[in-house]
């Protein structure tokens, strides 16, 4: 139980970080969407759109510490836990991890599709050159490869849905998992008299 508490504490730190990053994605997707829906695409776009898109579609991750839970699941040690309320909370927490991973995977699938379209719509080398030089000139213009409105609309849809997944489902699941982890920590500490 002491080992499980340690794992849960590590999880809470990871979850706090994931909440911050997911909230940032939701905010930047709003900025990217505003730009995409209010500007006509010509042969050049401001570098700030690329900056918005990059921050609206980062590769999110979540690492759950399963050192102790793997042992409990694989060795049949769950039956050794006498406190039924602890068993119930552990099982609910594991189920929530699955739910959170589902929304993360949904976000990543839309995010990856948006990234693929980015590569076909505008020229990226200048973006990476700026990052390498740590230059923040977001007014710099990037050359558009394809002005097809349908493709830009597809990008807009992908940014919108990935932002919505973050704002609604994923952020909710992360917060729920965080609450469950903190509740489980307190319950285990109380039931097993841990400090």
Residue 73 lies in a domain: no
CA 119 to each of CA 58, 128, 146: distance values in angstroms, whole numbers, following the listed order: 15, 13, 10
Per-residue pLDDT tens over the stretch 66-104: 999 999 988 888 888 889 999 999 999 999 999 999 999
Residue 70 lies in a domain: no
Residue 98 lies in a domain: yes
Nearest to 159 by CA among 85, 50, 61, 63: 50
Per-residue pLDDT tens over the stretch 124-172: 765 555 554 445 555 578 899 999 999 999 999 999 999 999 999 999 9
pTM of the model: 0.90
The total number of structural domains that make up the chain: 1
Residue 9 lies in a domain: yes
Nearest to 20 by CA among 58, 49, 65, 71: 58
127, 55 contact by CB (below 8 A)? no
Question: How many Cβ atoms are within 10 Å of 7's Cβ, its own excluded?
Answer: 19
Residue 41 lies in a domain: yes
* Domain range enclosing 136: 2-58+83-191
Burial 11-34 (b: 16+ CB within 10 A, else e): bbebbeebbebbeebbebbbbbbe
CATH code, 144: 1.20.120
Residue 76 lies in a domain: no
CA dist 170 and 126 (Å) reads: 32
């Amino acid at each position: 139980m002491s080992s499980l508490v340690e794992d849960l504490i590590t999880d809470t730190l990871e979850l706090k970080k994931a909440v911050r990053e997911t909230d940032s994605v939701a905010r930047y997707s709003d900025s990217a969407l505003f730009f995409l829906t209010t500007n006509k695409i010509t042969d050049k776009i401001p570098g700030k759109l690329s900056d918005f898109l990059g921050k609206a579609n980062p590769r999110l991750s979540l690492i759950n510490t399963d050192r102790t839970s793997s042992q409990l699941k694989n060795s049949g040690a769950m039956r050794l836990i006498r406190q039924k309320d602890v068993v119930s909370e552990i099982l609910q927490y594991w189920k929530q991890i699955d739910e959170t991973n589902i929304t993360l995977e949904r976000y990543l699938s839309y995010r990856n599709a948006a990234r693929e379209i980015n590569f076909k719509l505008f020229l990226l080398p200048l973006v990476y050159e700026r990052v390498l030089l740590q230059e923040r000139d977001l007014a710099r213009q990037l050359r558009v490869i394809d002005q097809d409105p349908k493709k830009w609309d597809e990008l807009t849809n992908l940014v919108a849905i990935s932002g919505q997944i973050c704002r609604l489902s994923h952020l909710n699941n992360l917060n729920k998992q965080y609450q469950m982890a903190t509740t489980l920590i307190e319950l285990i500490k109380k039931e097993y008299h841990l400090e």
